[in-house]
A = this chain, B = another copy of it.
Amino acid sequence: MNKIITIGRQFGSGGREFGRRLAEELGYEYYDKQIISEIAKKTELSEEYVKNVVEKEPHQLYPITIGRSMFYSSDYEIKQIQSIFEAQCEILRELAEKSNCVIVGRCADYILDKFNPYKIFVYASMESRLNRCIERNENVNLPLKKFKKEMEKIDKNREKYYDFFTGRKWGDKDNYDLMVNTSNCDIKEVVSVISKLFK
């Protein structure tokens, strides 16, 4: 069976850099944003729409309760969201069957359970995450307070999406094999050590 490493991550913690470097060190395939494009192809929905569902507006996942009845925004919408998740499952399983790989996000730790993945969660303090984004010139034109709120919103949405589809709790230590705080470390150095767990 191929070796699969999944990376969950807080926004701005360097989780993607962690995953990319880990894949490089190990000579594994690396999958991240391109999974969105694959889902879009499979579902014939636009990439923007898929990205929106997967990363930005999972509140649509939760039904509205009126009296004793529950409603989703629309039946059509919920079917699309489900079909996106199904496509996501298929794509991830195809990738996992193809070769050793590192997969960032996308509930891969849950979806690929039967592949017995090694599950890593990468996180950092808010201060460190803000600094990291500033260094990387990401959205620096936003006022700091607004940017912080934006970061919190992205993570909240990741959490909602993950919790909804997996029934697990995003970022809860029990779901991971290793949790790495990148606040006070050099990701390159840490990855070069951690990669030895898989050699």
Residues of A within 8 A of B (CB): 121, 123, 125, 171, 173-174, 176-181, 183-185, 189-190, 193-194, 196-197
A123 to B172, CA, bound (A): 12
Determine how many copies of this chain the complex contains. Answer: 2
A197 to B195, CA, bound (A): 12
Q: For residue A194, which residues in chain B have a CB less than 8 angstroms away from its CB?
A: 193
Q: For residue A180, which residues in chain B have a CB less than 8 angstroms away from its CB?
A: 177-178
A172 to B152, CA, bound (A): 18
Q: For residue A181, which residues in chain B have a CB less than 8 angstroms away from its CB?
A: 173-174, 176-178
A189 to B194, CA, bound (A): 12
Q: Is the CB of A125 within 8 A of B196?
A: no
A193 to B193, CA, bound (A): 7
CB-nearest residue of chain B to A182: B177
Instruction: Given A193-B194, A193-B196, A193-B197, decide whether A125 and B178 contact each other with a Cβ distance below 8 A.
Output: no
A125-B174, A178-B178, A196-B196 known; 4 other A-B pairs, CB under 8 Å?
Answer: A173-B181, A177-B180, A177-B183, A193-B196
Q: For residue A189, which residues in chain B have a CB less than 8 angstroms away from its CB?
A: 197
Q: Is the CB of A179 within 8 A of B190?
A: no
Which of B185, B190, B197 makes the CB contact (< 8 A) with A190? Answer: B197
